[in-house]
Amino acid sequence: MSTSSEQPEKPLHELLTTSLVDIYVGSENTDWTIHEKLLCYHSPFFRKIFYNKENRESKTKSYGLPDSDDLPFELFVGWLYSRALRYPEAEKDVGPLLDLYFLSEQFQITKLSDDVVETVRAFYHNNETYPGLRRVQYVYANTSEDNEMREMMVNSVARYLTLSDAIPAHWENALKKNGQLSVDIIRSIQQWHLEGRSVPDARDVSQDRGREKVGFSAVAEGMSMTEIKDEDVDLDHSKTNGSS
């Protein structure tokens, strides 16, 4: 039941068998009835739940996700049957997509994870904006190192801060509080492999001539680049303690 790129995916009609399972989502136990073969074909997580020996003998056909929300799971079901994601109309629609991304990681569906990252990436690029601090913090609170969504957001923020005239106050405070975020931004800039001649050399006094000296303490009152501005939250804030 592999979905690797080496094998063509099974067409939808072959996965819509008569066997159904019920997934109960959220505190209200919203019942989602899904084709078992379709769900297990795409998700190793659910494959272990419904296709192991113990559950086959007990004929278990249901599973609960009490800590998940209805909207991201609805997006998951939509993707499962259509293999397409709803493009966000506004920045507020990115939040449910991030929750969908966390579900895709839990369900071990790499293709869905990739699709969500590309959709979020396209939204910020097409709108000529950058992820706001709250979005970055939310991703950091729910992912580990070498995560694709985290990497995409950090790389975007690195570009935003590099091309800005100064560091906005809320970003300065966040970078002071979270060393890992600061280190990741520096690593992102290093991966650009900039040519030495394009980077100012403070050791060369001739390069200071005619340049306006700003100083490290400069903080922009406004922002020279467009960023989705949102309220600051603690980087230790977790998905289970609040919404995105």
Distance separating alpha carbons of residues 65 and 73, to the nearest angstrom: 10
Tokens representing 215 are: 């100083």
> Is a pLDDT exceeding 60 seen at residue 114?
yes
pTM of the model: 0.81
pLDDT score for 135:
96
pLDDT in tens, 173-203: 999 998 899 999 999 999 999 888 888 888 8
pLDDT class of 206 with cuts at 50, 70, 90: confident
Distance separating alpha carbons of residues 164 and 168, to the nearest angstrom: 9
Strand ranges across the sheet with 30-35: 30-35, 20-25, 62-65
Amino acid at 60: T
Task: Characterize the bridge pairing of strands 30-35 and 20-25.
Answer: antiparallel
Distance separating alpha carbons of residues 13 and 17, to the nearest angstrom: 8
Beta bridge partners of 20: 35
> Is a pLDDT exceeding 90 seen at residue 40?
yes
Average pLDDT over residues 202-225: 60
pLDDT score for 234:
42
Task: Quote the radius of gyration of the chain (alpha carbons, Å).
Answer: 22
* Average of per-residue pLDDT values in the chain: 84
Average pLDDT over residues 38-43: 96
Task: Characterize the bridge pairing of strands 20-25 and 62-65.
Answer: parallel
